[in-house]
Amino acid sequence: MNSTASLPLHQGGIPTISALHPDIFQSHILALLDGPSLASLACVSSQLHALCTDDILWFNICSSTWPSLNHPRLQQIISTFPSAHRSFFSDSFPFPDLQPLKLDVNSCTLPTELIFAVDVYYQNQIIYSKVEEMDTSSSWFLCSPFRVDLLGPKDSASTPVKYLGGSQDEAWLKHLEESLSLSWIVINPTRKKAVNVSSRRAVSVQRHWLTGDVQVRFGTVTAGDEGRGSSRELVECGVVVMCCGKGGGEMHVREVCMVMEDMEGKGLNGKESLVILEGVIEQGRRKGGEGNEGKVKYEEFQERKRERKEENQRKERVLDLVCITVGVVGFVSFWSAILFK
C-alpha cells in the first residue's frame, strides 16, 4: 500500500483535491467549466459533488448561457426550483426526448401561466433577448390559435450583424444557417419546471415568398397527445425569426414567434398546445447533444407530413371516384326506369 497518498504536500505527498482550499478550487477550476462538464464532475465523488453543486457556479453558468435569465422575475422563480439554478439547467439544456406522452392532462392540471425566456445568438454572441409572460387561463386563449409573438407588427430589433444579399444571397443564407442559434425556454412557474423547445440550430433558412425577408426556422418535433396514425401523433413546435435589412447595412430582427402545428399543418389552439407543452415538461426524459439532430428530426417530420398529405389525397380521389360512380349509376338507373316504364 502506498502511504505517500495521505502525506501533506510539504512532506512530498501526492497532491489531492483536499489539499486545495475549496474557494480556490471553485474559483480557479470549477468556474471555468461549462454545465455538462460540471455535472459530470459532480458524479466522481461525494467531495466533488458537494463542491460542484454550489448555486453560485450554476447561477453564473445559467446567466452566461441564457442572458434573458437576468430578469428579476425569473431569478425569483428559479430560486424556488428544487436545486435552484442547477435544476433549471438540468431542465433547460438538453433536448426533450421524442417519446409518446403518457401524462393524462386535463383542464384542471393545465398551467394558468407560462413564461418564455428567449435568446437569439449570432456566432455565439447574444443579439436579442426577451422574457414574455403569458396568462393561459382565459377561455379566449384556450380556444384561439396558439401563437407567441415577441415583437409587435411595427417593431424591430437592431443587431450588430451586417446584412448581405444580392449576388451573395445564397452564401449569405448559408452563413445565417450556420451562425444563428436560438434558445426558447418554456417555464411553468407553478410546477417549478422548464423545457427548451428550440432546435438550437436553424432547421431551415429561406426568403419569404412575399416580403423577401429572411425566414430562419428553429423547430422541435415532439410526440403528440394522440395515437399512431392520427394528425397529432407528432407535433412541431416551430420558432420563426424574420430578419430584414438593406445590403451592406444593419440587420434587423423583425419577428420572433412560436406556433405549434400537427402533421397536417393545422395550427393547434391554446388548450391543445398547453397539453403538449405540459406533457413534455412533465415527461422527465431528456437527452443531450447539439449537432444537427434538430434538423434531422425536422426533415423527417416534413417527410411524414408529405406522405400523410399524399395518402389523404389518394383517399379523396378514391372517394370522389366512388361518388361519381354512384352518381352515374343512379342517373342511368333513373332514366332507365323512365324510358322502359
Whole-number Å distance between alpha carbons of 201 and 220: 10
Q: Given pLDDT bands bounded at 50, 70 and 90, which one contains residue 9?
A: very low
Q: Which residue has the cell 397529432?
A: 232
Q: Looking at residue 210, what is its pLDDT?
A: 85
- Count CA atoms within 13 Å of residue 19 on its CB side: 12
**Average of pLDDT values for 252-280?**
92
- Please name the residue ranges forming H helices in the chain: 22-28, 35-41, 46-52, 55-65, 72-78, 85-92, 139-143, 169-179, 270-283, 293-339
Q: Given pLDDT bands bounded at 50, 70 and 90, which one contains residue 341?
A: low
Q: Given pLDDT bands bounded at 50, 70 and 90, which one contains residue 110?
A: confident
Compare 95 and 134 and report the one with higher pLDDT.
134
157-202 residue pLDDT tens? 999 998 887 768 888 899 999 999 999 999 999 999 999 999 889 9
**C-alpha gyration radius of the chain:** 27
Query: How is 257-272 classified by DSSP, letter by letter?
Result: EEEEE-TTSPBPBHHH
242-264 residue pLDDT tens? 999 887 789 999 999 999 999 88
- Alpha-carbon dihedral sign for residues 254, 256, 262, 268: negative
Whether the per-residue pLDDT at 3 is higher than 60: the answer is: no
Q: Given pLDDT bands bounded at 50, 70 and 90, which one contains residue 287?
A: low
Whole-number Å distance between alpha carbons of 214 and 212: 7
pTM of the model: 0.84
**Average of pLDDT values for 309-315?**
83
**Average of pLDDT values for 222-227?**
78
Q: Given pLDDT bands bounded at 50, 70 and 90, which one contains residue 1?
A: very low
Q: Mean pLDDT for the chain?
A: 84
Cβ count near 179 (within 10 Å): 15
Cell of 15: 497532491
- Alpha-carbon dihedral sign for residues 17, 23, 26, 31: negative
Q: Looking at residue 6, what is its pLDDT?
A: 38
Q: Looking at residue 75, what is its pLDDT?
A: 95
Q: Given pLDDT bands bounded at 50, 70 and 90, which one contains residue 333?
A: confident
**First-to-last C-alpha distance (Å) of the chain:** 114
**Average of pLDDT values for 33-51?**
86
Do residues 38 and 61 touch, judged by C-beta distance below 8 A? Answer: yes
